[in-house]
A and B are shown apart, each in its own frame.
Chain A
Amino acid sequence: MNRIFQRPASLLDRPTHFCPGCTHGIAHRLIAEAIDELGIRERTIGIPGVGCCVFLYHYFPIDVLEAPHGRAPACATGMKRAQPDKIIFAYQGDGDMAAIGTSEVIHAANRGENVTVFYINNSVYGMTGGQMAPTTLLGQQTTTSPYGRDFKSEGYPIRMAEMLATLEGVCYSTRVALHTPRHVNQARKAVIKALEMQNAEMGFSVVEMLSTCNTNWRVTPLEAIDMIENEMIPYYPLGVFKERTGKDFL
């Protein structure tokens, strides 16, 4: 009898602080699996944003720098330029990346910084209690859009993976989801690919992951899964928006 599934070595054996059913936990495991698979743990440095991911260092046995809210791509830039031989990833929520940190991520991507950003889109500011974010769906009720998001006042949800894909410096931009086994397997491949592309010095890679925040969506974990399928994916289509095959820079 063999153990055919176990905790990856790059994920520490401790309970997470995430809410029950929060797929941040799956994203963490996928990244740890990728680090193991590529054998890069000892030269990987993680930079969490501020949000529910801020305790990244509790879970990964790697070096970690805590960045200010939204600035992880700038910190990653400085770090990668100082240590081009290291694998540097940022891990940002949608508030962190798609609201307060839009400038930093766009310009890091545009410069083609050879770093990877894992972008957890759960359509709300999770850690602060589920307020409306730029990613909140139209009509979605949150603690600061109690009547539902109205495009006339709050505009439309922002699609980061598509937007970043337009930038020349980006080598890989994809959107995956974490709500079914099939999607998690796809996400796993995307995470590995992004880190592989960084290893091959191909430029900026970003993996957007549609993720649950059942606590702030005020639903059960199983209902949250249905919301990703029925509400998020129709607005945030899955797919690869940009993928370089070689170092075909202009």
Chain B
Amino acid sequence: MDRRLTKGNIALAEGAIQAHCRYYFGYPITPQNDIPEYLSRNLPKVGGVFIPAESEIASINMVMGAAASGKRAMTSSSGPGISLMQEALSYMAGSDIPCVVVNIMRSGPGLGGIAPTQGDYSQAVHGGGHGDYHSIVLAPASVQEMFDLTIKAFELADTYRNPAMIIADAMIGQFQEPCRLTPREPVVVPDKPWALTGCKGRAPQLLKSLYLADGEQEAHNLVMKQKYDIIRDREVMYETRHLEDAELMIVAFGTPARIAKTAIENLRARGIRAGLLRPISLFPFPVHQVHDFSIRIKKILVVEMNTGQMLRDVQISAHRDSRIFFYGRPGGGVPYPDDIEAQVVAALEEA
């Protein structure tokens, strides 16, 4: 298999092209600028459209227009820009319009630095926009996953007619790794009979989120909930490492999960049996998997590059007798393997 040294953001952008995304709209913000730069060069070569939009609000609404036309469309940004997109994301969720939005996170609150961080977990997974909805959220931890999960995100978005987000920290976006830049399986774009293409030969169609008649909005929300339940059932993605005999389970996504793997190898060399559960889909969160492993593995260490956002989901998922520890580096701090090892040892020493 031909693999090339590739930057994470570039792998993601190429993944979008391979996923037959032909419409990209975006506004510059570090640390994701490689994505629009790559697509501005390469989308025209495949007959696609790149528009340097006037703002993130415009970007996401352009995505809505292209996606409502039945085309695969994407935008990417970081912290402040993603905040500006929330209104339209909520509209798209409410109107069953699929799209892919990429957040290469920067720290915050506010303008925030560009060092690697995971401060937008809650925004992505637990809302962000208004109303009762979810985005599908995927969290790559390697350059290869930046490519593969982008294709997956488009597939999931289309299957469920729902926005899908990819959230990654700047480390994943910026570093280089060997990467296979061809899809593992042929990419199939489904028919979209719901698309707004003009009503020639059919009844007029409508994509809207406003339901005013008595009980209509509630009924719509319940239909959306059914969809989310199906997603929870079918689309959970996660990776485990050394959980078979582990006496402590680290739960981490993105960069901290990679660092945890090193820590786990070091610990095992010292005879300390730690293991890893790495959620790949953050919505749907691997609720049952965390729960089932936690029945046997009583101690859990959650490691994040924030002050404890995924932690809440682990607390909700884990068995009630679990002992849950947290180690977080917010605001651009990156955990070292030694730090994680020390946390594991301390957790195991506690009664």
Contacts and interface: CB of A to CB of B under 8 A. Distances in A.
Interface of A: 41-45, 47, 54, 57, 60-68, 71, 74-83, 86, 103-104, 106-107, 111
B23 interface: yes
A107 B54 contact: yes
A57 B65 contact: no
A218 B61 CA distance: 35
Nearest to A44: B198
Contacts of A43: 198, 200
Of the four ranges (under 10, 10 to 19, 20 to 34, 35 or more), the interface on chain B belongs to 35 or more
Contacts of B67: 78
B101 to A, nearest CB: 14
Contacts of B88: 68, 71
Contacts, number: 130
Interface in B180-234: 196-201, 204-210
A74 B200 contact: no
Contacts of B200: 42-43
B208 A64 contact: yes
Interface in B14-68: 23, 25, 49, 51, 53-55, 57-59, 61-68
Contacts of B209: 66
B307 interface: no
Given A63-B204, A63-B206, A66-B209, A74 B69 contact: no
Contact of B57 (A60, A61, A103): A103
B62 A64 contact: no
Contact of A77 (B55, B62, B87): B62
Given A63-B204, A65-B65, 15 more contacts: A45-B197, A61-B199, A61-B204, A65-B207, A68-B91, A74-B65, A75-B65, A80-B65, A81-B65, A82-B49, A82-B70, A83-B197, A83-B198, A103-B54, A107-B53
Most buried by A among B51, B70, B200, B201: B51
Nearest to B201: A42
Contacts of A111: 51
B57 A78 contact: no
Contacts of A104: 54, 57-58, 61
Contacts of A86: 197-198
B197 A65 contact: no
Contacts of B23: 78, 81-82
A201 B62 CA distance: 19
B174 interface: no
A64 B196 CA distance: 7
Contacts of B51: 77, 81, 111
A68 B87 contact: yes
B77 to A, nearest CB: 15
Contacts of B207: 64-66
Given A57-B204, A63-B204, A78 B65 contact: yes
Nearest to B58: A74
Given A81-B49, A103-B54, A57 B208 contact: yes
B208 A66 contact: yes
A104 B9 CA distance: 28
Given A68-B61, A86-B198, A79 B204 contact: no
B296 to A, nearest CB: 48
6 contacts: A62-B204, A65-B196, A67-B91, A68-B61, A75-B61, A81-B49
B73 A78 contact: yes
